[in-house]
Amino acid sequence: MQSFHDAAGPPAGKADFATLRRFLPYLWPRSQPSLRARVAASLVLVLVAKGINLIMPFAYKGAIDAMSGPAGQAGEAALLAIALVGAYAAARFGGVLFDNIRNAIFERVGQEAAQQLALDVFAHIHCLSLRFHLERRTGSLTRIVERGTKSIDIMLYFILFNIFPTIFELTAVCVIFWIKLGPAMVAAVLGFVAAYILYTQKVTDWRAKLRRDMVTSDNKVSARAVDSLLNYETVKYFNAEPHENRNYRTALKRYTDAAVKNEVSLSWLNIGQSLITNVMMAGAMGFTVWGWSQGRFTVGDVVLVNTLLAQLFRPLDMLGMVYREIKQGLIDMEAMFGLIDTDAEIKDAPDAVPLAIRGGHVRFDNVDFAYESRRQILHGVSFDVPPGAKLAIVGHSGAGKSTLSRILYRFYDISGGSVTIDGQDIRAVTQESLRRAIGIVPQDTVLFNDSIGYNIAYGRPDATQAEIEAAARGAQIHDFVASLPDGYATQVGERGLKLSGGEKQRVAIARTILKNPAILILDEATSALDSATEAGIQDALGTVAASRTTLVIAHRLSTITDADEILVLSAGRIVERGRHDALLARGGAYAEMWALQQAEEEQAIAAE
C-alpha cells in the first residue's frame, strides 16, 4: 500500500502544475454543460466589469480638464463636466453591479466543485483498507479533508476573478501608458510589477515551510483532542485528566509557536509589497507632474495616471494575497490528493464477478496470514462449513479468532491458501457482493450518533418501520425501546455511549437480523449480556442461524455446545476440532477451558 503522510511538502515546479491540472477538471466539468456555461458567463462579466473600470478614469480626466478653465465659467464646459462626473459615478456602480452578478452566477460552480471533490475523497477513504484506518488518526484525517475541500472554492475564485482580470488590466494599463506616457513609463511599470511578483514569490515560498509546520501542528492538536475525547471513559478510569491536559498543552504550544512565526513572516511580506507599490506610485506621479509642468500633460492626465495606478494597485495588492492563498491551497490540496492517491490495499480483480450464493458453503483451505511479514498470525488453517451448519471457534486472546472473520469479509488478503464461498474464491468476486452476503454481530459494537431506529435500519436502509420493529423483537430490545419517551427516535450519542453495553449489542443483533444475510458471524455476540438476557437472545440467534451458515467466535463455551464443529485455536493453529462432547471426552485444551469457565461460574454464584 502506498504510504501517506500528514505533512506532505508543498508542490514545486512541475508538481505545482500537476496539482493544478488535477484541480482544473472541477472548474470545467465535462458532464455538466450548465456549469461550464456559468463559468463562461462569469468570465464575460469579468471582462465587462474591467472594461468599465478602465473607461472610468477617462471620464474623471475629462471632467477635470473641463473644469480647468477660469473659475465660474458657464456653458458647455460646465455641462460636460457634470455629464462626465455622472458617467464616472455610473461606471463605478456598473463595476460593482457586474462583479456581484458574476459572483451570483459563479457561486454554484464553486459549491458544486467543492461538493464533488469532497464526495470523491469521502468515497475513496471508504475504499481504503482496514489497515489504513487503524493506522490513521481520525481527527487528522478530517482536518485534511476539511481544509482541502475549502481550498478548491478559494482557488477557483482567485484564479478566475483575480489572476486573469489582473493580467487583463495590467495589459490594458500598459497600452494606455504607451500611448499617453511613452515606452519608458511602460518599462518602469513592468519592472516594478515584476519586482513585486518576484518578491512576493520568494517570501511566500519561505512562508510555505512555516505554513507546513503550522498545519502539521494543527493536525496534531486536532488528533490529540479527538483521540482524548473518544476515550473519555478511559481518561476518567485512570484519573488521567492532568496527563491529557499536559499533552494537549504541549501540542497547543507547538501550534502557537508555528502560528506566531507564520504571522510575523506575513508582516514582512506586507511591508516589502507596500514599499514597492508606493515607490512605483511616487515615481509615476512625479513623472506626470513634471510632464504637466513642461506642458506635455494636462491636469486631467495627472488624475488619469493616478486613477489608473490606484486601480492597478488594488488587484496587485490582492495578487500578493492570492499568491499566498494559492500556495497554501496547494499545500492543503496536495495533502488531500495524497489521500486520493493512496492505493487501496484490497481491490476487486479486473475480472471480478458478483458472488453467487448457492447455500453459503464456507471453506478455508490451508490459510496463512500475517498483518506484517515479521509476525505471522495464522498457520495453515483449514476448515469446512457446509450450508446451514454452525462452526464455533474458541481460544485464548490473541489466538487469531477474530482475524478469521476479517479475512472472510476480505478486509485483508491472505498470504497463502484460499478462502471460498460456494466454491468461489473470495478474491475473484466483488467486495460489494461478498459483504452483502455476510452479516456480523461484533464483540465491540460502535453505533452511529443517531437514533436507535436509524442504527437498526443500517442493516437494510430501505426497511419499513414494521420490519425494524420485528428485528428489534428478535433481538429482545423492542420492549426496552418502546418504553423510552422517544421510542425508536431516541438518540444513542456518539459511538452509542448513551446505551449500555448489552443494549448496544442487542441493537447490533437487530441490525444483523434485519440484513438477513446468507452467512452469519457472531463475534462473541452476547459477551456484554447478563445470563437471563443471553439465554433469550441465544434462542433468537438460534432461530436466525437455523437456515444460515454460521461462524461463532465464542468466549463463553456454554453458548456453543450445539455447534456442528468446534475449532480450538492456539497461536494461529488449530490444535483441536470436533463436537462439544467429543472434545470434553478427549481431555485436551478444550476440556481445560471448559473446566476453568465452570469453576469461574461456580465462584461467581458462590460470591452472590
Q: Which three cell numbers stand for residue 96?
A: 460593482
Reference 465, options 421, 514, 503, 512; nearest CA is 514
Inter-CA distances, 27 with 13, 18, 550, Å? 22, 15, 50
3-state secondary structure 497-556: CCCCHHHHHHHHHHHHHHHCCCEEEEECCCCCCCHHHHHHHHHHHHHHHCCCEEEEECCC
Mention every residue, 6+ apart, whose C-beta is less than 8 A from residue 135: none
580-602: pLDDT as tens digits: 999 999 988 889 888 888 887 66
**What's the grid cell of residue 121?**
475523497
Scanning 231-240, the segments in alpha helix (DSSP H) are: 232-237
Reported pTM: 0.62
CB atoms within 10 A of CB 579: 15
Q: Is residue 102 a part of any domain in this protein?
A: yes
Residues in the chain, pLDDT under 70: 1-17, 19, 60, 67-82, 84-85, 87-88, 129-140, 318-320, 495, 525-540, 543-544, 546, 601-602, 604-608
Q: How far is C-alpha 198 from the chain's CA centre?
A: 34
The answer as to whether 555 is a domain residue is no
- Number of structural domains in the chain: 1
Count CB neighbours of 234 within 10 A. 11
With respect to residue 279, please indicate whether it lies within any of the assigned structural domains.
yes
Q: What does the CA dihedral 174, 179, 184, 187 come to, rounded to 10 degrees?
A: 10
Sign of CA dihedral 207, 209, 215, 217: negative
Quote the CA–CA distance of 455 and 508 in Å, as a whole number. Answer: 8
Q: How far is C-alpha 213 from the chain's CA centre? A: 20
Residue 485 lies in a domain: no
Phi first, then psi: what are they for 56, rounded to 5°? -55, -45
437 three-class SS: coil
Q: Which strands form 416-421's sheet, in the order they lie side by side?
A: 375-385, 362-372, 416-421, 424-425
| Cα-Cα end-to-end distance for the chain | 53
Per the structure, the complete domain to which residue 303 belongs is given by 14-341
- Cα–Cα distance measured from residue 245 to residue 225, given in angstroms and rounded to the nearest whole number: 10
The domain spanning residue 166 has which CATH number?
1.20.1560.10
The answer to whether position 185 is within a domain reads yes
Output 35-43 pairs: Cβ under 8 A, ≥24 positions apart: 35/108, 35/109, 35/112, 38/105, 38/106, 38/108, 38/109, 39/106, 39/109, 39/160, 41/102, 41/105, 42/102, 42/105, 42/106, 42/109, 42/160, 42/161, 43/160, 43/164
The 3-state DSSP class for residue 409 equals coil
Would you say residue 397 lies in a domain? Answer: no
Q: Within a domain: residue 509?
A: no
Helix residue ranges per DSSP H, 294-378: 299-341
Distance CA 249, CA 255 (A): 10
pLDDT score at 492: 86
In whole angstroms, what is the distance from residue 467 CA to residue 113 CA?
A: 39
- Amino acid identity at 322: V
Residues 441 and 550: beta-carbon distance below 8 Å: no
Per the CB < 8 A criterion, the answer to whether 120 and 308 are in contact is no
Dist. CA 454–CA 367, nearest whole Å:
37
In-domain check, residue 234: yes
Interacting residues of 577 by C-beta distance below 8 A, sequence separation 6+: 383, 565, 566, 567, 568
Q: What is the pLDDT of residue 1?
A: 39
Given a contact cutoff of 8 angstroms between Cβ atoms, the answer to whether 366 and 382 are in contact is: yes
- Cα separation of 566 and 577, whole Å? 5
Q: What are phi and psi of 270, to 5 degrees?
A: -65, -40
Contact between residue 541 and residue 523 where contact means Cβ atoms under 8 Å apart: no
